[in-house]
Structure 1
């Protein structure tokens, strides 16, 4: 949507006409999913309430119509869908409908999933097999872990050392991280945080004794876990209690979340919620996906805050979610659902 909004007024008017034609009286269905769409097509009439099944069918049809607006030979559409190992049945069905719809052209769909987390009976695998039978072209690329040479080059480049000099450190990192790029990065950060990987500045311009230094016996003595989620849990537990609490709630919302939704389930105002996100942002466990803007209607009294975020990595979200005790998860989800429902009801009444 942001890309569309950078178009000229004439081009934007063309997009608006095409979208309104495709969406018909159901534009609000898409606005509920993509609020920024209202900036292009304007306010839309409320759609009638339907049964859950009919509502899902309507959504599938309207979303396909939306996709087809952008899938044109002069401007093909590329969609990337990550973490397909966690995809729900409704979303999987929608993707299958889009791919098998004969009206869908000029679409390149890229999906990513962890192959070790799906079995042959996983819904994703079954759907892919069905799509192949429908003669849908599916190409598969298997991404393997980084090799010793890859990690050795990465560490040597990061520490400004020769590959030979960091070979023993690479061996240790490979033993712990197993060539997982995210884990390799986080493991090195942990070594730095624990002061077993240190930068020693040179004493003078001619001093060649400075640089990055490490002590393998000290690193071994730390007994750092070889599980990336456990490693991240340990990092998250060092955050202030308030930050841990709000991060747990954010993990329940999803990989991407917004300040307004988070403030509802955190039961604080957006202005009071944002400061508790500061330590998490500082440690880069979450990343901003929007610019600073005011948190209220009063431009003079409202505070500035970032309103949209995403987790650095799905393993960070997984670790944050793991901070909730297993026996508490259902209770937390129920509380979140009730808070969102109450907020939605109040908003409609207003």
Structure 2
């Protein structure tokens, strides 16, 4: 299914209007030979290639002058061994719908990751996480196609090199791996995780706390704080929560004693980017059609449905500079920036590099 000069507006949750020179909708593994032939032709023309999932973490800064592969592979298989529920899930499945399905079937462990937008294939790339749980905690392996030579591979959890919002798919395998499915292992002896953020109101030591209760709480919290991309264009959390040294964190706390902070390995501390932005008084700040969300400062929105990519870029830069000025903390964007030639970043886009 090859489309030419195809609009990408429906395929990115910011609802930014951009076009792809070529769009291939990858819906079945039987299409692999056709896809690989198209990839070979595109490479021969020195054109860029982009693998696109749900577009929930993507900002198209311009039209894309190459091939966009839209991953739409579907299928969920749930089996079990003596101690675990074993999941094999195709990359195109909607992540939140998968969480719902597991809860309904009495398979627990994904509830903290409810309402995270996007598809399953994006989960290992970003090592998605929320409320003290990350994808790496339950991942067994990841299957992918190597776009360089067309071969298929399986990576173990360890080989994925998971880190905070990071993995080998953003490093060594960046622009090379097309994830086709993921496998997960969820222990039958379920353990609640309620010690992070607003879930602290639930007592995970109480036997009465259920996965359904955590799921419902997470959905309520996220719905109240995060805008629905089907209603207001956005890409969820725009910036990463910064990791700073314990020493620097203490310096900040001496001036801002109520600053949220979370201990990390290696004498490091995680700060709350949304809190830093909020303290700069930026909720509601607008640049053109883009704005900082009034309920959650970590989210930038397409406020009137007419925002341009440049509006979002200018607003992101302004937010970054204000936080740097007030706290001496440099925010990194979690959202992927895509220009005509592939992935770029805020610094390069602003400086027209």
Question: Under TM normalisation by the shorter chain, which class is it?
Answer: under 0.3
More helix by proportion, 1 or 2? 1
Give the TM-score of the pair, scaled to structure 1. Answer: 0.27
Bigger radius of gyration among the two:
1
TM-score, scaled to structure 2:
0.27
